[in-house]
C-alpha cells in the first residue's frame, strides 16, 4: 500500500468512525437480563435504603393485591410501572444512545422495595456492570496495563450513564472531553509514579494537532478500559527511546502510515525525511540495535512544528529534555546541537546520496 492509499483508507476509516480495536474485540453476547432476588429485605434488618412507595405499605401501587403477605403479580410490565412515577426516565430512555439493560427491565439493577445499596441497587458498580459485561471485566481486571479511571470515583459511571445518553456508547460527554476532564491537570501519576502529561495544556500550547487528535479521537489509539500494551495503546508501540527495529513494534503507527517509510534504505518517493535518495527514516529507525523510536523526533498528540516534530525529548531516566532544534527549510529541514552537530537534509534533490548505508544497500 502506498502512502496515498494508506491515508485514504485511514481517512475513510476516521470518517466512518470505525476503530481498529473495536472491530477486533470478540463479539461476546451480553445478557439482557440478570437474575436478582427482589424479595423485600425484612424491616427488622433495617435495610439502609427503602423505596418510598414500598415504605408506604401500599403493595397495590404495583401489585394486584394490597395484602403484604400475598401481593400477587405486578399489574403491568415493570418499566411502565416505574415510568408512572419516574416520568423523567422516559426522556432519558428516549436519548440517542439507550442502554438495552434498562430498556429491558429496570429491575435488572434496582430492587423496587429496599436494598443495602444507595439508589436501591442490587449490586455495587462496577460489579453490577461487569456481571453482564464479561468482556469488559476481563479487559479491565486482567490487562497488564490498567486504567484507574475504572477504579476511582464513580468507576464505570465516570464515563457512562447507566440509562441513556446523547453521546453514543452511553457516554456522558464526547470521549475527547471525557479524557481531558481527567487528563487536563498536572500531577496525574501512572502506576510507576511517573507524572503524566497534562494533555489539555499540551493541546492548548501546541497548535499542530496530529490527524486523529484533530479528529478528537483518543480511543482510535487508546483503549479506555485497559489493555495489554504500554499506555493502553490499541496496538504495539515501543516504550523506550531506543529499540532494535522490528515493524511489529510499530503496529500502532503502521495502522495508518506506510511501513515502507522506514523499510527502504533508498527512495525518492516514500518519505520526505530523506537527503537526496538516502532515507533518513531508515537510517535513524531501522537498526538492529539502538534504532531511534518515533518519539525521538515526533510528538504524537500535538507539536509546535510541522510534521509533528517535537521541540525536545525526555532523555535518560532523570527527565532531562534534549532540545531538537529542528528547522523546516524550503527544501527539507535541519537539526542542530542534538544527538549530533547541525545536519541538513534536502528532499528536493533526487540524486544518489554520496555515501552512507542508503547508497550502499540499494537493490
Ligand atoms: C414500586 C412498585 C412496587 C411496590 C410498591 C411493591 N413491589 Fe413487590 N415487586 C415489584 C416488582 C417490579 C417486582 C418484580 C416482579 C417481576 O419481576 O415479575 C416485585 C416482586 C415482589 C416479590 C417477589 C420477589 C421475587 O424475587 O420474585 C415479592 C415477594 C414482593 N414484590 C413483595 C412486595 C410487598 C410485600 C410489597 C408491599 C409491602 C411490594 N412488593 C410492593 C414492585 C413493587
Ligand atoms: C408510586 C410511585 C413510584 C413508583 C411506581 C416507582 N417509584 Fe421509584 N421512587 C418513588 C419516590 C416517591 C421516590 C423518592 C424520590 C426522591 O427521593 O426524590 C423514588 C425513588 C426511586 C429511586 C431512587 C432511590 C434513591 O436512593 O435516591 C430509584 C432508583 C427508583 N425510585 C426506582 C424505581 C423503579 C426501578 C421503579 C419501578 C420498578 C420505581 N422506582 C417505581 C416513587 C415511585
Ligand atoms: C444497568 C443498570 C441499571 C438499570 C437497568 C436501570 N438503572 Fe437506574 N440507576 C442505575 C445506577 C447505577 C444508578 C445510580 C446513578 C448514580 O450513581 O448517579 C441509577 C439511578 C437511578 C435513579 C436515581 C438517580 C437518577 O438518575 O435519577 C432512578 C430514579 C433510576 N435509576 C430509575 C431507573 C428506572 C426507572 C429504570 C428503568 C427504566 C432504571 N433505573 C434502570 C442503574 C440502572
Ligand atoms: C442485565 C445485564 C446488563 C447489566 C447489569 C449492564 N449492562 Fe450494559 N449492556 C447490556 C446489554 C444487553 C447491552 C447491549 C449489548 C449489545 O448490543 O451488544 C449493553 C450495552 C452497554 C453499553 C454499550 C452501549 C453502546 O451503544 O455501545 C455500555 C457502555 C454499557 N452497556 C455499560 C454498562 C454499565 C456502565 C453498566 C453498569 C452500570 C452496565 N452496562 C450494566 C446489558 C447489561
Ligand atoms: C475513562 C472512561 C471510561 C470508563 C471509566 C469506562 N468506559 Fe466503557 N467506554 C468508554 C469509551 C470512550 C467507550 C467507546 C469506545 C470507542 O469509542 O471505541 C466505551 C465503550 C464501552 C462499551 C461498548 C463497547 C464495548 O467495548 O463493548 C461497554 C460495554 C463499556 N464501555 C462498558 C464499561 C464498563 C462496564 C465500565 C466499568 C467497568 C466502563 N465501560 C468504564 C469509556 C469508559
Ligand atoms: C475519571 C478520570 C479519568 C478519565 C475520565 C480518563 N482517565 Fe486516563 N487515567 C486516569 C488516571 C488517574 C490515570 C493514572 C493511573 C493509571 O495509569 O491508570 C490515567 C492514566 C491514563 C493513561 C496512562 C496509562 C498507563 O499506565 O500507562 C492513558 C494513556 C490514559 N489514561 C488515557 C485516557 C484516555 C484516552 C481517556 C479517555 C477515553 C482517559 N484516559 C480518561 C484517569 C482518567
Ligand atoms: C495516534 C495515536 C494516539 C492518539 C490519537 C492519542 N494518543 Fe495518547 N498516546 C499515544 C502514544 C504513542 C503514547 C505514548 C507516547 C510516548 O511515550 O512517547 C501516548 C501517551 C498518552 C498518555 C501518557 C502521556 C505521558 O505523559 O506519558 C496520555 C495521558 C494520553 N496519551 C492521552 C491521550 C488523550 C487524552 C488523547 C486524545 C486527546 C490521546 N492520547 C490521543 C498515541 C495516541
Ligand atoms: C530522527 C528523527 C525521526 C524519527 C526517529 C522518525 N521520524 Fe518521521 N519524520 C521526521 C522528519 C524530520 C519528518 C519530516 C520530513 C519532511 O521534511 O518532509 C518526518 C516525517 C514523517 C511522516 C510524514 C511522511 C514522510 O515520511 O515524510 C510520517 C508519517 C512519519 N515521519 C512517521 C514516523 C514514524 C512512524 C516513525 C517511527 C517508526 C518516525 N517517523 C520516526 C523525523 C523522524
Ligand atoms: C488512526 C490513524 C493514525 C495513527 C494510528 C497514527 N497516525 Fe500519524 N497521522 C494520521 C493522520 C490522519 C495524519 C494527518 C494526515 C497526513 O498528513 O497523513 C497523520 C500525520 C502524521 C505525521 C505528520 C505527517 C506530515 O507530513 O506532516 C506524523 C509525523 C505522524 N502522523 C506520525 C505518527 C506516528 C509516529 C504514529 C505512531 C505512534 C502515528 N502517526 C499513528 C493518522 C494516524
Q: Which residues pair with 346 in a beta bridge?
A: 332
Once rounded to an integer, what is the mean pLDDT over residues 216-231?
98
pLDDT above 70 (res 19): no
| Ligand 6 pocket residue status of 150, Cβ below 6 Å | no
- Which residues, other chains included, contact 324 with Cβ-Cβ below 8 Å and sequence gap of 6+? 297, 309, 310, 311, 312, 313, 335, 338
Best of 130, 136, 139 for a ligand 5 pocket test (most atoms within 8 Å of beta carbon): 136
| Ligand 1 pocket residue status of 106, Cβ below 6 Å | no
| Ligand 7 pocket residue status of 251, Cβ below 6 Å | no
Tell me the pLDDT tens digit for each residue of 277-293: 999 999 999 999 999 99
| Ligand 7 pocket residue status of 5, Cβ below 6 Å | no
| Ligand 1 pocket residue status of 38, Cβ below 6 Å | yes
Tell me the pLDDT tens digit for each residue of 167-207: 999 999 999 999 999 999 999 999 999 999 999 999 999 99
pLDDT above 70 (res 3): no
- 43 vs 81, more confident: 81
pLDDT at 87: 97
pLDDT band, very low/low/confident/very high, at 320 (cuts 50, 70, 90): confident
Once rounded to an integer, what is the mean pLDDT over residues 109-129?
97
Whole-angstrom distance, CA of residue 260 vs CA of residue 281: 10
The ligand with the least distance to the CA atom of 294 is 8
| Ligand 6 pocket residue status of 149, Cβ below 6 Å | yes
pLDDT above 70 (res 1): no
pLDDT band, very low/low/confident/very high, at 349 (cuts 50, 70, 90): confident
- 90 vs 1, more confident: 90
pLDDT band, very low/low/confident/very high, at 20 (cuts 50, 70, 90): very low
Whole-angstrom distance, CA of residue 310 vs CA of residue 305: 7
Contacts 24+ apart (CB under 8 A), 21-29: 21/219, 21/223, 21/227, 21/234, 25/135, 26/135, 28/134, 28/135
Cell numbers that stand for 139 in this block: 479487559
Whole-angstrom distance, CA of residue 344 vs CA of residue 126: 55
Q: What is the CA radius of gyration of the chain?
A: 28
Instruction: Classify strands 242-243 and 291-292 as parallel, antiparallel or unpaired.
Output: antiparallel
Cα–ligand 2 centroid distance for 86 (angstroms): 7
pLDDT above 80 (res 27): no
pLDDT at 24: 54
Proportion of the chain above pLDDT 70, given as a percent: 89
Once rounded to an integer, what is the mean pLDDT over residues 15-40?
72
| Ligand 7 pocket residue status of 295, Cβ below 6 Å | yes
Cα–ligand 6 centroid distance for 245 (angstroms): 28
CB contact burial 295-319 (16+ within 10 A = b; e otherwise): bbbbbbbbbebeebbbeebeeeeee
pLDDT above 50 (res 95): yes
- Which residues, other chains included, contact 62 with Cβ-Cβ below 8 Å and sequence gap of 6+? 53, 74, 75, 81, 112
**Domains of the chain by residue range:** 43-123, 130-232, 236-360
pLDDT at 337: 78
Mean of pLDDT over the chain: 90
User: Ligand 6 atom 12: the closest Cα is on which residue?
Assistant: 148
Cα–ligand 6 centroid distance for 148 (angstroms): 6
pLDDT above 70 (res 228): yes
User: Ligand 4 atom 13: the closest Cα is on which residue?
Assistant: 100
Cα–ligand 9 centroid distance for 148 (angstroms): 28
Of the listed ranges 146-160, 286-300, 307-321, the one predicted with least confidence: 307-321
| Ligand 5 pocket residue status of 101, Cβ below 6 Å | no
Best of 162, 164, 165 for a ligand 3 pocket test (most atoms within 8 Å of beta carbon): 162
pLDDT at 76: 97
The ligand with the least distance to the CA atom of 182 is 6
The ligand with the least distance to the CA atom of 178 is 6
Tell me the pLDDT tens digit for each residue of 329-340: 999 999 987 788
pLDDT band, very low/low/confident/very high, at 328 (cuts 50, 70, 90): very high
Cα–ligand 7 centroid distance for 2 (angstroms): 26
| Ligand 1 pocket residue status of 72, Cβ below 6 Å | no
pLDDT band, very low/low/confident/very high, at 314 (cuts 50, 70, 90): confident
pLDDT at 25: 53
Tell me the pLDDT tens digit for each residue of 55-77: 999 999 999 999 999 999 999 99
Pocket of ligand 8 (CB under 6 A): 250, 253, 257, 261-262, 271-273, 281, 284-285, 292, 294, 296-298, 307, 309, 332-333, 347
- Which residues, other chains included, contact 83 with Cβ-Cβ below 8 Å and sequence gap of 6+? 89, 90
- 245 vs 351, more confident: 245
pLDDT at 38: 97
Cα–ligand 3 centroid distance for 119 (angstroms): 7
Amino acid at each position: 500500500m502506498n502512502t496515498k492509499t494508506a491515508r485514504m483508507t485511514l481517512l475513510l476509516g476516521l470518517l466512518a468512525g470505525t476503530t481498529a480495536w473495536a472491530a477486533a474485540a470478540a463479539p461476546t453476547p451480553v445478557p439482557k437480563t440478570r437474575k436478582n432476588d427482589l424479595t423485600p429485605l425484612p424491616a427488622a434488618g433495617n435495610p439502609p435504603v427503602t423505596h418510598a412507595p414500598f415504605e408506604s405499605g401500599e403493595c397495590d401501587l404495583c401489585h394486584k393485591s394490597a395484602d403484604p403477605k400475598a401481593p400477587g403479580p405486578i399489574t403491568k410490565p415493570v418499566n411502565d410501572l416505574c415510568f408512572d412515577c419516574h416520568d423523567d426516565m422516559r426522556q432519558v430512555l428516549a436519548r440517542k444512545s439507550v442502554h438495552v439493560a434498562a430498556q429491558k427491565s429496570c429491575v435488572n439493577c434496582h430492587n423496587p422495595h429496599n436494598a443495602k445499596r444507595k439508589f436501591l441497587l442490587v449490586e455495587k458498580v462496577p460489579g453490577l456492570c461487569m456481571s453482564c459485561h464479561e468482556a469488559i471485566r476481563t479487559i479491565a481486571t486482567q490487562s497488564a496495563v490498567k486504567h484507574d479511571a475504572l477504579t476511582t470515583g464513580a468507576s464505570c459511571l465516570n464515563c457512562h450513564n447507566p440509562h441513556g445518553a446523547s453521546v453514543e456508547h452511553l457516554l456522558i460527554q464526547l470521549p475527547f472531553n471525557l479524557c481531558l476532564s481527567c487528563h487536563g491537570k498536572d500531577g496525574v501519576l501512572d502506576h510507576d509514579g511517573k507524572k503524566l502529561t497534562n494533555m489539555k495544556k499540551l493541546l492548548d500550547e501546541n497548535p499542530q494537532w496530529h490527524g486523529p487528535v484533530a479528529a478528537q479521537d483518543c480511543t482510535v489509539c487508546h483503549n479506555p478500559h485497559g489493555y495489554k500494551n504500554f499506555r493502553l495503546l490499541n496496538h504495539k508501540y515501543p516504550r523506550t527511546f531506543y529499540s532494535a527495529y522490528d515493524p511489529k513494534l510499530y503496529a500502532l503507527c503502521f495502522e495508518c502510515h506506510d511501513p515502507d517509510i522506514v523499510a527502504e534504505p533508498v527512495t525518492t518517493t516514500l518519505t520526505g525525511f530523506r537527503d537526496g535518495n538516502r532515507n533518513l527514516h531508515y537510517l535513524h529507525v531501522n537498526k538492529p540495535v539502538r534504532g531511534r523510536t518515533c518519539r525521538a523526533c515526533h510528538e504524537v498528540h500535538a507539536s509546535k512544528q510541522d510534521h509533528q516534530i517535537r521541540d525536545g525529548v525526555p532523555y535518560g531516566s532523570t527527565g532531562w529534555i534534549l532540545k531538537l532544534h529542528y528547522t523546516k527549510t524550503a527544501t527539507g529541514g535541519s537539526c542542530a546541537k542534538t544527538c549530533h552537530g547541525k545536519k541538513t537534509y534536502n528532499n528536493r534533490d533526487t540524486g544518489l546520496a554520496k555515501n552512507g548505508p542508503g547508497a550502499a544497500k540499494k537493490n
